[in-house]
Amino acid sequence: MSPKVVVTNWVHPEVLEVLAPHCRVEANDGREPWPEQELLARCADARAMMAFMPDRVDEGFLAACPDLGIVACALKGFDNFDVAACTRRGVWVTVVPDLLTEPTAELAVGHLIALGRNMPAGDRAVRAGFAGWRPRLYGAGLDGSVVGILGAGRVGSAIAERLQGFGCAAILYADVEALDPERESALGMGRVDFEELLGASDFLVVAAPLNRDTRHLVDAGALGRMKPGCRLVNISRGSVVDEGAVAAALEAGTLAGYGADVFELEDWALDDRPVDIPAGLLDARDNTFFTPHLGSAVDRVRVEIGLRAADAIVQYLRGERPDGAVNDPTPS
């Protein structure tokens, strides 16, 4: 019998066509994730799994799926997947590291503009009844502003690249690792420490990965040290920011606005993650702008991401090392 491959969330038909000649495909054809118990039941005898952002693979999951040999993640950040546990159990973990960079950076710039120029509030004002221009909803533009980027990896650097034409007064970044000087110069970026980034930025974009050192890095204390009137945008992982502290800062008026494409409730690997977005954030309608994790939601990009994950599964089924592997579970 051919090996079973489970695709946990909806993908384009082209992705399933790549897999079909090599295995029995069991794919989620709906737009909602399967409930946890259903997913476990489907994966119990699976040889491969194509995984997505709502999935979590840990020791317990692996114990319930003893035949699993590869988790091919159709994503870049794999913090919801216990790579060490997978390695111990001989399971490959692969990611698609490069295709999400540009669309995520593009969305970040959209958030900056929408938040600074009060676009959500403006849209609501028009729909409520528009009689012509009024001296209202004056905001802040990128031109002449200092934009700070927390994290200068692929996404952070791509954001800086896209900001080049906006006339920013400065583009600053903070990262534990400095960019190559030539790269810094080409991107028009200047490296500062975290405290200086907080104090100097008119707009601050969070583009840092989630790990032990970055969880709630932007907390109440950091928010209190920000430049008054700063606008904060998070397109990395929800839990790099303390959402409760952000809600309090918005209410107090010390933070001018918050835009987010990611939320703490999505960080499934954290046992103490919240299950809802704080009401204080959802109620702050006039100075927030939220999108439902649309960072990679460009149709042609999602096709390519799915195809890359499918290729990794096919390579594994052929006995080859899969592309995009972040571990090596083969015996030494």
Q: State the catalytic residues.
A: 237, 266, 293
The residues, any chain, with a CB within 8 Å of residue 10's CB and separated by 6 or more, are 27, 28, 29, 30, 31
CA distance 70 to 326: 11
Question: Which residue in the block uniquely carries the two structure tokens 């030494």?
Answer: 332
Which residue from 97, 88, 54, 52 is spatially nearest to 71, judged by alpha carbons?
52
The β-bridge relationship of strands 170-174 and 70-73 is unpaired
Helices (H) and strands (E) in the chain, counts: 13, 12
- CA–CA gap between residue 136 and residue 48 (Å, rounded): 55
Q: Which strand (E) or helix (H) includes residue 26?
A: strand 24-27
Four-CA torsion 206, 153, 328, 74, nearest 10 degrees: 60
Please name the residues in contact with 308: beta carbons below 8 A apart, sequence gap of 6 or more: 74, 96, 99, 323, 324
Contact (CB, 8 A) for 175 and 191: yes
Going from the C-alpha of 257 to that of each of 71, 112, 197, 282, the distances in angstroms are 38, 10, 17, 12
Per the DSSP assignment, residues forming a β-bridge with 4 are: 24
